[in-house]
Chains A and B, each alone.
Chain A
Amino acid sequence: MRLLELEINGDRLHVAAPPHWTLLEVLRYELGLTGTKQGCDKGDCGACTVLVDGKPQLSCLMLGSAAQGHAITTIEGLLPAHRAQGGAGADPVQDAFDRCGALQCGFCQPGMMLSAKALLSENPTPTSTDIKHALSGNLCRCTGYTQILEAALLAATKTEEVL
């Protein structure tokens, strides 16, 4: 076992985990943060996407230990961060996905929303092409992507309003 010092959604946490555990396993099975999904577990699907210092990365291909020293954001972190910045209701990305019905089974959603969040933080006024590129590492087997694209565009307009 190793004692890891992690920064997850703004909280400093100490957690013991075996060295061969991925960040995904630490999140789900040590910390109970099951919003991060375990899909293919080998880098193919993007369901396990988390933000590492604001950039989308795959937690199934990252050792828990490698997350130390970086700010990790999981889907559970969006709402508290939004509220802490004085926002009302849900995070604009989550709200837009909800309004657009951009989900069916919902399994891809946490990863999708985090990839969208990272894009909007860097580029608040993305084109459809920018969004397609940014979400191209997140697979959805249900929706056909149309509403997801709409949701990301809607979230972009709202982000502008907020700014």
Chain B
Amino acid sequence: MLRLPTFQLHEPASLKEACALFAEHGAAAKILAGGTDLLPNLKHEIYDVDHVISLAKLPGITGFEMQGHDLVIGALTPLAQVATNPNIQKHAPALAQAASLVAGPQHRQMGTLGGNVMLDTRCQWINQSYFWREALGFCLKKDGTVCHVVEGGKKCVAAASNDTAPALMTLGASLTFVSATGTREIPIEDLWVADGINNKSARPGEILTEIRLPLRDHTHHGAYGKLRERGSIDFPLLGCAVRIDLDDADCVRDAAVSLVALQARPLLIKGVDALLQGLKLGSTELDQAIEAVAQLAHKKCKPLDNIPGDKDYRRRMVPVYVRRTLRAALDGTGPVHHI
């Protein structure tokens, strides 16, 4: 039996009220969306919070809306809806596929896209009960002074483990945060910080309200690949999202590859577009360039013993998943998943 610690529960009926509460309680408060990450972490006593601010009663931050050249998704939209929405499947296949592979069916009904973006980092030494952590000796992320992953390490390297993060990065998503002092829109690339204790630049008091994607046409190809032990429930041992946009002559106009479940931040691999640009669909040159991208990702990605799964195995899987996911995007056969 894992009990939640006691806290004061707030259920504001407007965004303004929610922002005021968050501003008032700051670091002593946590936002509750679907609760599928927050509740286990609270039960494990990973946070010291006295206040929980539920977004459940807020109107208007759920659902999908076309705004000009953008597709806007409310932060409270359940992942099950993101996975099955025809517009997301058409304009952002990597996102639909990533959402379809988060956790298990019940989590996708409860868990929200905003909560997935804001997911806390994961590490096999922290996502444990207080009793377990106390017995082993606490670590930097909570209550301790050492890191069990990097000996002598002074920085927490717990892994960003949110499946939708790399998909949103390849799609050039931007995020809208609202707080008591105003509204801020940032490219998702600017959200991440290389610190496992808190891997996000969102300021205390800021609530994520919207995820905005530029609409893409028929020349857009995307896919998501996920390595995990079982076919369901498990967090990624490696997640890989890709985007390939073609021009009218079926040559690569632009491309991006992003990976998650490595270190504290999801990684957008730099230089992918330069390797693929201008190459024609079906050509040997494109095949060779895909292999070069896979090798580039292998060079850049260095998994650690932060999450389950041997780190050398996970590293060897990097080029395999990058290659397969790029091909799946071009063939329209994603997601890449063993089941």
Contacts and interface: CB of A to CB of B under 8 A. Distances in A.
B4 A22 contact: yes
Contact of B106 (A40, A57, A66): A57
A58 B36 contact: yes
B135 interface: no
A43 B36 contact: yes
A145 interface: no
Contacts of A63: 9, 32, 35, 39, 54
A141 interface: no
A66 B56 contact: yes
Contacts of A52: 109
B332 interface: no
A19 interface: yes
A128 to B, nearest CB: 13
A22 B106 contact: no
Given A58-B110, A63-B35, A137 B233 contact: yes
Interface in B95-133: 103-107, 109-110
Interface string B53-68: 0101000000000000
Interface string A61-85: 1110110000000000000000000
B109 A55 contact: yes
A62 B110 contact: yes
A interface residue count range (under 10 / 10 to 19 / 20 to 34 / 35 or more): 20 to 34
Contact of A57 (B4, B9, B109, B231): B109
A120 to B, nearest CB: 14
Q: Which label, helix, strand, loop or mixed, suits the secondary structure of the B interface?
A: loop
Interface string A44-65: 1010010010011110111101
Interface in A120-155: 133-134, 136-139
A126 to B, nearest CB: 13
A61 B54 contact: no
B56 to A, nearest CB: 6
Given A22-B39, A52-B109, A66-B35, A136 B232 contact: yes
B104 A65 contact: no
Contact of A61 (B7, B40, B231, B232): B40
A29 to B, nearest CB: 10
Contacts of A133: 105
A38 B6 CA distance: 19
Interface in A62-114: 62-63, 65-66
A18 interface: yes
Given A20-B7, A46-B104, A66 B233 contact: no
Contact of A137 (B1, B2, B106): B106
B5 interface: yes
A159 to B, nearest CB: 19
B107 A43 contact: yes
Looking at A2, A56, A57, A138, which has the most chain B CB atoms within 10 Å of its CB?
A57
A60 to B, nearest CB: 8
B283 interface: no
B309 to A, nearest CB: 17
Contact of B107 (A21, A22, A137): A137
A42 B3 CA distance: 10
Contacts of A55: 80, 109
A36 interface: no
A2 B7 CA distance: 13
A139 B43 CA distance: 21
Nearest to A66: B56
B181 interface: no
Contact of A62 (B6, B11, B35, B40): B35
Contacts of A139: 233
B19 to A, nearest CB: 20
B284 interface: no
A43 B4 CA distance: 13
A21 B232 contact: no
B8 interface: yes
Contacts of A61: 34-36, 39-40, 110
Nearest to A56: B106
A4 B106 CA distance: 23
Given A20-B4, A43-B39, A61-B39, 12 more contacts: A46-B104, A49-B106, A56-B106, A57-B106, A62-B110, A63-B9, A63-B39, A65-B9, A115-B105, A137-B107, A137-B232, A139-B233
18 contacts: A42-B40, A42-B44, A43-B39, A43-B40, A43-B107, A46-B104, A56-B109, A60-B2, A62-B110, A63-B35, A63-B39, A65-B9, A65-B54, A115-B105, A115-B106, A134-B105, A136-B233, A137-B233
